[in-house]
């Protein structure tokens, strides 16, 4: 099977297909990370709202009530810190994955261009070979 035939694609064509598959995988990874970041951001905002609304009621309170409110407040603050760190990590990860996907997209487009150029050169080579194999034309008598 010839390398330039329709069944045996060029190395550049196979590379372009490989890059296309890699790009699809990276796009799916970015989507998954972005969905997780959106969910994490929503939870973080809910925890921040909870932390803002937690306060000790004015008036008579017991030590038990104060300890309980303090414990819950600390738990919310700890969870808020944890989820904020997770959101920060996911933001960085999404950015890195998008950058990686952009590089893969660029590699894919270069491989497609090279595949097209190779296919054109191969076709020209085939046409030149066929033309060279034909006997020379005789000029028609006048």
pTM of the predicted protein model: 0.68
- Total structural domains within the chain: 1
From the number of C-beta atoms within 10 Å of its C-beta (0-12, 13-18, 19+), residue 87 rates as buried
Q: What is the pLDDT of residue 33?
A: 95
pLDDT along the chain (142 residues), means of 10: 53 87 94 96 92 75 84 91 95 95 92 90 91 78 67
| 106 within domain boundaries | yes
Q: Rounded CA gap, 31 and 40, in Å?
A: 14
- Domain span including residue 97: 11-120
């Amino acid at each position: 099977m010839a390398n330039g035939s329709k069944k045996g694609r060029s190395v550049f064509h196979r590379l372009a297909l490989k890059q296309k598959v890699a790009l699809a995988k990276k796009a799916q990874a970015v989507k998954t990370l972005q969905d997780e970041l959106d969910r994490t951001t929503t939870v973080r905002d809910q925890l921040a709202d909870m932390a803002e609304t937690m306060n000790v009621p004015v008036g008579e309170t017991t030590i038990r009530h104060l300890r309980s409110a303090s414990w819950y407040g600390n738990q919310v603050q700890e969870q808020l810190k944890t989820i904020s760190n997770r959101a920060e990590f996911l933001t960085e990860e999404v950015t890195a994955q998008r950058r990686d996907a952009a590089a893969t997209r660029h590699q894919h487009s270069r491989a497609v261009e090279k595949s097209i150029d190779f296919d054109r050169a191969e076709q020209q080579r085939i046409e030149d070979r066929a033309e060279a194999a034909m006997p020379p034309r005789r000029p028609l008598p006048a």
